[in-house]
Amino acid sequence: MSFDNLGLSQPVLQALALKEYTVSTPIQEQAIPILLKGRDLLGIAQTGTGKTAAFMLPSIDRLSASKKRPGPKACRMLVLAPTRELASQIAESARAYSRFSHMSVATVFGGTSLHKNRQELARGVDILVATPGRLLDLIEQAALTLREVEILVLDEADQMLDLGFIHALKAIVRVLPTKRQSLFFSATMPKTIKELADRFLTDPLQVAVSPVASTVERVEQYVTYVNQAEKPALLTMMLRVGFSDKGSMDRVLIFSRTKHGSDRIVKQLGYAGIPANAIHGNKSQPQRERALAEFKSGKVKILVATDIAARGIDVSGVSHVINFDLPNVSEQYVHRIGRTARAGAAGVAIAYCAEDERAYLKGIERLTKQTLVPVPLPENFVNEAARIKAARPAVPPQEQRRDEQREDRSRVRRPKSRRPNFGAAGAPKTQRAKRRASGR
């Protein structure tokens, strides 16, 4: 359906015309009319189907129609995202869509200057895109108030829960106005998301443009069974060949289960003369931005990422996704392969499955209701793998096990939040404030 038929205002349509967007996607077609009426919404759609425009376009229209201006240190629309990259991507889209609506947009997330964040928010903004941690930092420092929020959006809500943001979300919601429009968007619909929606949404409508947890149909999905120790050699051989038998290679996104594993893959590819960058939570913000910029420009065509860091990687031309490690959470597979086959393009996803990952593979196939097509190891793989392995320094097995155990522990036992406890009145109750109140 044409955007002209969805009830959007002329300034928004002008912004869409400038980006040469004329036809809406299914999630946009269903969500925009509902959101223009001010209803709460739970939207389920695969990654790359246009969710950002689905919630941003009608929200800009509603903010413009009310003709209000944000007060100091306040925002009118709050969008929460799980990662820095996704927050940046959403903010970039918001600026483009609101070009003729004269909306102010700000982004706040960890790894950037708190002082700069305070300056940006001092006069107030219409649209604020934030990660939960940095948002709470600013609220605790009295640099931001949420009392003027008219629209709340949770993007990638399932990932928010996976990252342990539930306590932060509860703290944030406690200081939001009761009267507001709330929108949840997610690529998957686990039971926990439904429970969260029931708690935070008011009489919401649900929009699902495809079966829950289904994968992008245009993605060709393959699996190669290989020993864990031989995965680096297999990856090197595949990248050298350039996937000539599975479509031409443009940009390749490789997924590792751990941060240290991502760095190891980059090093191992470097020994083979194949340039690659890594992006994960241990990288500084400038490092992450540089790696992503080089990937987008095509300067470095291989990017190795963890699941968390990959959220927000919206790069056209990602021809292949390689699951170097299979995810131990089946829903993550959907997000991973959704990085390819974007904007109507085709894509290829290849999974490397070691013996101890077969249970993960079964879980993925059960969730997606698809069977991955087996691909045999390349000819002369054993000899070539031995030659590649001999050409690079070996990673001590005990070091590899230690890194993976450290990552697994961090996923299972998350530290308790040290964020402030917000009372009913919305003021942060720090331990120091409690001691002062009690006279201690």
Which H or E run contains 235?
Answer: helix 231-241
- The bridge status of strand 347-353 relative to strand 219-225 is parallel
d(CA 75, CA 124): 6
3-state SS class at 25: coil
d(CA 181, CA 204): 10
Residue 100 token pair: 């003729």
d(CA 232, CA 1): 46
428, 139 in Cβ contact below 8 A? Answer: yes
d(CA 153, CA 183): 5
d(CA 254, CA 323): 6
325, 357 in Cβ contact below 8 A? Answer: yes
E-strand ranges in 204-258 read 205-208, 219-225, 251-255
d(CA 156, CA 47): 9
The angle formed by the CA atoms of residues 249, 255 and 258, to the nearest 5 degrees, is 155
Pick from 252, 278, 259, 281: which is nearest to 83 by CA? 281
- Dmax over CA atoms of the chain, in Å, equals 76
Pick from 434, 430, 432: which is nearest to 137 by CA? 430
How far lies 36's CA from each of 39, 56, 71, in Å? 8, 11, 24
d(CA 237, CA 388): 9
d(CA 242, CA 72): 54
d(CA 161, CA 257): 18
341, 218 in Cβ contact below 8 A? Answer: yes
Q: List b or e across 383-398, with b for residues whose CB sees 16 or more CB atoms inside 10 angstroms.
A: ebbeebbeebeeeeee
Domains plus CATH for the chain?
Answer: 3-208 (3.40.50.300), 219-395 (3.40.50.300)
| pTM score of the predicted model | 0.68
DSSP H helices in 175-220: 191-200
Compute how many other C-beta atoms are within 10 angstroms of the C-beta atom of residue 140: 15
d(CA 285, CA 279): 10
Tens digit of pLDDT per residue, the chain (440 long)?
A: 889 899 999 999 999 999 888 899 889 999 999 999 999 999 887 666 788 999 999 999 999 998 899 999 999 999 999 888 889 889 999 999 999 999 999 999 988 889 999 999 999 999 999 999 999 999 999 999 999 999 999 998 877 876 678 888 889 989 999 999 999 988 777 777 777 788 788 889 999 876 545 555 678 999 999 999 999 999 999 888 765 445 567 789 999 988 899 999 999 999 888 999 998 877 887 888 898 889 988 899 999 998 776 665 666 678 899 999 999 888 788 878 877 866 556 789 999 999 999 999 999 998 888 899 999 998 888 888 888 877 766 555 555 556 555 555 544 444 444 454 554 444 445 554 444 444 44
